[in-house]
Amino acid sequence: MEPYPSGLTSTLTDTTQPAIEFKNVRLGFSEGEILRGVTFSAQDRETVILLGETGTGKTLLLKLASGLLRPDSGSIQVLGKDISGMTESELLEIRRQIGFVFQEGALFDSLTVGENVAYRLHEDGVAEEEIEPRVKEVLRFVELAHTVDSLPSDLSGGMRRRVSIARALIGRPPIVLYDSPTGGLDPITSQTIISLILRLRDVYGVTALLATHRLQDGFALANFHFDPQSKKVRRDSSPEAARVAPTRFLVLRAGKIYFEGTPDELMKSPDPYLQRFLI
């Protein structure tokens, strides 16, 4: 597995420790309690697929993991640090270790694609001569190098998601959170986005939480792998592939983890609720 081009990989020193860990997390709003004691963890380099109906709190879990929301109770550990009691300024530092791909991209609409991707580097005070090649590099990775001077409004929905992935990738984070990256996209574009997530996982070894209501996205991540030698995505369901890039499903229901297991366990589950996802 290759490190990021700069040589930066996970900042997690103890790899037996989970990269993300939720312990009995509860969160409610005026409409009622949405998360009712969620406990799960994501190991270093693991991809956890958060599956559930709309409104079950998948996006909330991602926002909690990045410190954009605070839990009412429970604890959240990210890269070995408890973020649930951190101040906003402490959280800003943690967030620099996390890439967040928002559902609709959330690109800055008054900035060009290049400026959007370079945003974090400008914030970090990186030298201009270093910024340009890094922006070109990540835009090449998402196959959008030609859009560097375009505005987000000139791009299609799928292209905006890819730019959002490039923007999340530019900071070389060890953790990437994807909020419904294929939501509302056609099957071909969805496939392109999933291939990109696969490459990011298999080339750079990032830990990922991916919220989706599309089961096929999860199975694609579990059963396909990117081969850096041939530079192609191949089907590989072998135990060895699963060990190198493990994928796990969490099914959310009524504010709790309803199911947690491997793709195989999900497929074989006789539970009628889970069966509804498999249809």
| Of 43-51, 74-82, 94-102, 232-240: span binding another protein (CB under 8 A) | 94-102
Of the residues 120, 172, 199, 214, which one makes contact with another protein according to CB under 8 A: 120
Structure tokens at 152: 């987000």
Of the residues 2, 82, 104, 186, which one makes contact with another protein according to CB under 8 A: 104
Least separation in angstroms between residue 190's CB and another protein is: 20
35-54 residues near another protein, rule: CB under 8 A: 53
The yes or no reply on residue 96 touching another protein (CB under 8 A) is yes
Q: Which of 176, 196 has the CB closer to another protein?
A: 176
Of the residues 238, 254, 268, 278, which one makes contact with another protein according to CB under 8 A: 254
In whole angstroms, what is the distance from residue 41 CA to residue 2 CA? Answer: 24
The yes or no reply on residue 4 touching another protein (CB under 8 A) is no
Least separation in angstroms between residue 227's CB and another protein is: 31
DSSP assignment of the chain equals -PPPTTS-----S-TTS-SEEEEEEEEEETTEEEEEEEEEEE-TT-EEEEEE-TTSSHHHHHHHHTTSS--SEEEEEETTEE-TT--HHHHHHHHTTEEEE-TT----TTS-HHHHHHHHHHHTT--HHHHHHHHHHHHHHTT-GGGTTS-GGGS-HHHHHHHHHHHHHTT--SEEEEESTTTT--HHHHHHHHHHHHHHHHHH--EEEEEES-HHHHHHHHHEEEETTTTEEEE---HHHHHHS-EEEEEEETTEEEEEE-HHHHHH---HHHHHHH-
Least separation in angstroms between residue 222's CB and another protein is: 24
The yes or no reply on residue 102 touching another protein (CB under 8 A) is yes
Number of chain positions touching another protein (CB under 8 A): 33
| Of 74-82, 100-108, 197-205, 230-238: span binding another protein (CB under 8 A) | 100-108
9-38 residues near another protein, rule: CB under 8 A: 32-33
The yes or no reply on residue 154 touching another protein (CB under 8 A) is no
Contact residues: another protein, CB under 8 A: 32-33, 53, 55, 63, 66, 68, 88-89, 92-93, 95-96, 98, 100, 102-104, 106-109, 119-120, 123, 167, 171, 253-254, 271-273, 276
